Amino acid sequence: MERKTAFITGISGQDGSYLAEFLLDRGYHVCGMIRQAEPRIPADFQHLLDQLPAGFDRLSLVPGDLQNAEELLDILRQFQPREIYHLGAQSHIQVSFQEPVETGDISGLGTVRLLEAVRHLQLPARIFCASSSEVFGNASGPLSETSSIHPRNPYGAAKAYALHMTRIYREVHGLFACSGILFNHESPRRGSNFVTRKITSGLAALLKGTQSELALGNLEARRDWGFAGDYVQGMWQMLQSPLPQDFVLASGETHSVREFCEIAFAHAGLPITWRGTGLQEEGVSNEGRVLIRIDPQYFRVESDKPVFGDSTLARQELGWVPSTSFQKLVSLMVDHDLDRQ
């Protein structure tokens, strides 16, 4: 039986590392593209290489850039993958406001360069493109595959363009190309510039004494948070489906930054209470020590309405069901960062 080869852009990120593990466990040969600008393999991905036996030949890491069409063509021509997972993007919202042109080039046009390379090579590959709930902007939930697209930041706009172009390549050029409209999904491997990981790593630093307090933005901001390990399984399930189509992956519930803090701190044995209001609100320990303060610089530029996803189609068509609760997710992240200190 022929071994399947999968190509992953953004393999060194949170989703990429979980997906690589998932596919390697299923006997795939995995080719992962890493930007040439990266000086080394990120620490949260290094464990994958460390645990592979000597002579292991099912994981290939190659330099490449979504802004370079020729590099994409060369990689696809060399490895001839049967499944492509396009996860690479500039995905931080605040950075997208600071660097809108680069965000559009990487997160939007990068998708088209990849699709065009597959079309040009006439590669019989199935393609998954990671989209985002940010394409919906501040629409009220529950949000599904048929909800209106109205992004409110450059990252969401780039992802909306990529979403539409993926559909065009599916409908016009006949590619097996689908998008997963992914709501927020976190893990111990989440980047430290995202609020969830900022909370759990900051909590660990507070307990160790290397940080005096944790500065956060809007405590009432609510997100539909799930576990990244569950979401990469959904990506794989989309490419095993008989026909390509777009799917929302979401937990279907929202939780606030405040709730995340309360669960995280309680899990670490450092329960907090709140005092004050507005920008003067603080999270304090039982002894009255200030642990959390509000800093206006961390508020999002656009308004922060709660949105949550409706993944009914994925549950019915793919049998995808997230297995990790919100409380379990927070606990996993806290335990990981406490162990690292």
For the 5-188+225-252+305-323 domain, the top CATH level (class) is alpha beta
Q: pLDDT grade, residue 258 (50/70/90)?
A: very high
Strand spans (E) along the chain: 5-9, 29-34, 59-63, 83-86, 126-132, 176-182, 185-186, 214-216, 222-223, 226-227, 247-249, 255-256, 273-275, 282-284, 290-294
The residue ranges of every structural domain in the chain are: 5-188+225-252+305-323
For the chain, what is the total number of helices (H) and then of strands (E)?
12, 15
> Vertex 330, ends 20 and 51: CA angle to 5°?
30
pLDDT at 40 over 80: no
Q: pLDDT of 51-96, one tens digit each?
A: 665 545 688 889 999 999 999 999 999 999 999 999 999 888 889 9
Mapping DSSP to helix (H, G, I), strand (E, B) and coil, where does residue 58 land?
coil
What is each CA distance from 187 to 66, 94, 294, in whole angstroms? 25, 20, 24
Question: What is the pLDDT, as a whole number, of residue 93?
Answer: 86
Residue pair 158/131 in contact (Cβ under 8 Å)? The answer is: no
The DSSP secondary-structure symbol of 110 reads: H
Question: What is the pLDDT, as a whole number, of residue 94?
Answer: 85
Query: Taking residues 106-132, what's their average pLDDT?
Result: 98
- What is the reported pTM? 0.92
Question: What is the pLDDT, as a whole number, of residue 43?
Answer: 63
Question: What is the pLDDT, as a whole number, of residue 302?
Answer: 60
Task: Copy the structure tokens of residue 110.
Answer: 């990068």
Distance CA 25, CA 28 (A): 7
- Secondary structure (DSSP) of 83-106: EEEE------HHHHHHSHHHHIII
Query: Taking residues 136-160, what's their average pLDDT?
Result: 93
Residue pair 166/109 in contact (Cβ under 8 Å)? The answer is: no
Distance CA 240, CA 256 (A): 34
Q: pLDDT of 314-335, one tens digit each?
A: 999 999 999 999 999 999 999 9
Mean pLDDT of the chain: 92
Q: Kind and range of the H or E element at 21?
A: helix 14-25
Q: pLDDT grade, residue 41 (50/70/90)?
A: low
Query: Residue by residue, what is the 3-state secondary structure of 277-340?
Result: CHHHCEEECCCCCEEEEECHHHCCCCCCCCCCECCHHHHHHCCCCCCCCHHHHHHHHHHHHHHH
Q: pLDDT grade, residue 193 (50/70/90)?
A: confident
pLDDT at 38 over 80: no
Closest to 139 in 3D by CA, of 251, 306, 5, 10: 306
Beta bridge partners of 232: none
Q: pLDDT grade, residue 307 (50/70/90)?
A: confident
